[in-house]
Structure 1
Amino acid sequence: MRTHLAPVTAEPTAADLAAIDAEWPLIEAELDVLDAEITLIYADDHGGPTSLDWRRLRRAEARVTRAAADSAARTDPRRAA
């Protein structure tokens, strides 16, 4: 059974944009991880990943962890220290 969805014609609200803005550091950090992973995949065609490629991935993963922790601390006032 196929459900037809109504087209979205409304612009994002100020609250929607604020939520995206608040979540952006985590989104950006996750994009950095993805970029580092893609670099590792393509490095296989050129002799394998270098130590700098691996370091870039580790740093990107650390940024995701920090951004997720910061985001959780902002959304849960009990966790903010």
Structure 2
Amino acid sequence: MRKLRRTSDEPTVAELAAIEDEWPLIEAELDVVNAEIAMLYAADRGGPTVLDWRRLRRAEARVTRVAAELAANPAARKAVA
């Protein structure tokens, strides 16, 4: 018996739910990327400031915290798997 393939490239309901469950982590990772971009552009104005470094550290800490929360939540892991 042949398995049917999806004919659409649209995400399934389960995939959308997994993305929604992981959205806080995705958003936190985007904050890290934005902070890193700011650090790169800081070279044009004399280098990163104390506030630039703080923004990056806080963004990285948020990624760690959100990832730990997701890992500790069995419902989130189930939706992602």
Bigger RCO of structures 1 and 2 (CA < 8 A, at least 6 apart)? 2
Structure 1 residue runs of 5 or longer lacking an equivalent are: 1-7, 77-81
Percent of aligned pairs with the same residue? Answer: 70
Q: Report how far residue 75 of structure 1 moved.
A: 3.3
Structure 1 length-normalised TM: 0.79
Give a deviation string over 1:27-79, Cα, whole Å, max 9, x none: 11011001000100110111111100000001000100011001101137xxx
User: For structure 2, which runs of at least 5 residues remain unmatched after alignment?
Assistant: 1-6, 76-81
Across the aligned residues of Structure 1 and Structure 2, the Cα RMSD in angstroms comes to: 2.1
TM-score (norm 2): 0.79
Compute the displacement of 1:13 (Å).
1.4
Q: Relative to total residues, which structure has the larger helix share, 1 or 2?
A: 2
